[in-house]
Structure 1
Amino acid sequence: MNITASLFMWALLPAFGAASYVPAIVLERRLFIRERADGLYQVFTYLAAKLLEELLLSLILTLVLSTYVFYGLQLRGTWVVFWLVYFVDLSVGVVLAYLIAALSPNMDVANAALPAFVVTLLFFAGQLITLDSIPDWWQWYSRIDFLRYAWGALMLNQFEDHNVNFAGDVPVLKYYGLQGGDKWAYIGYLALFWLAFTIMALLALTFVRHQKR
């Protein structure tokens, strides 16, 4: 139970930590609008520069933190998967923050919207409510929950080669509905979320207008 909860928190932290990236868009909005109107750069260039800056810093940060946590907790599986999941998960959190910041008229709305959305994802990721226990009419939301794939990949990395028994003497991966899953496919799904959120952030920065004439 300690390991499954620790892995869940490891997957969850980047989503809540994304709040720190919201000001990068909201507080720069007036400058961005003015410089874009002056033809200094395109929206794609602006977003690409922001992402490149953040992802380079995230690369260093995740390498250090994942090494400390993986070996500190004496986790099983491979460190590369453990690190890669965290890096891609954090990258998804960054572009999600940019998307919500671009859609929000001010910091107050953005600071309320991001954690509210993440909390809904938390309940459908598969740890608090097992995937098999989620009602049929909410299964669709679980499938578009990127935390589900981050946590699922971590769980498969940890237990796929030593699927220990859990509550009711059921293998832990079967208990959580993860048995037979592919951790690399889950990481691929995470990458698709990053691409989708990036495209939506680009569209929001391009077409959503908050300034008044």
Structure 2
Amino acid sequence: MSAFTVAARTTVAARATVASSANRRSVRAAAEPEQKSSGGEVFFTDKNGDGQRATPEEYEAAKAAGNTYQASTVTGDLPEWAAGATADSDISLSLGDAFAFAQVPAATNFVASGPELMNGRLAMIGFVAALGCEIATGETVGQQVAQSPVGVAVVTMLIVGGTLISYCSNTKPPAAGPFNQQKELLNGRAAMVGMASLLAFEAVKGVALF
């Protein structure tokens, strides 16, 4: 057998191998599902805090239906603590809405009116601080406020101001583990009752509870 014949057969075999590999790749590519380009995808969280993957059109439809929180094209699922950090909503509330005692505004993301939310947060901080100070020093709430009026005023303004900012911007607070809006509302109401009872006791008795 001549060298030319061997070379020719080798060339034909090589071409057949290349063609066979190409055919297998084509069949495999046809069998595989089409993959979306990452540039045409939007990752966001729905109102349940679940991560979603959608086309821009599907995301816009979900946003129009009010079923979205913060969108992210950088990463996939947002962490649970950040799911409700920013709402995809153009609805904001006025100071009048935030200070309305009568009812919770229909468009708000909160489960309580602004005054109840602010009073509850103030009561939770104040009740714990007042009891702790009474146990440590034996002073009544009135004596504690008289000794540090500036500190009490600053803490009050920070709590009220922070609540107003989030309430007026309609930013839904994220759940922190088992603590959600409903539990905050319940704890705030309990703290308001406890603070009122403490003040009433001291007003009648004229002494600290502890």
TM-score by length of structure 1 reads: 0.29
* Structure of larger gyration radius: 2
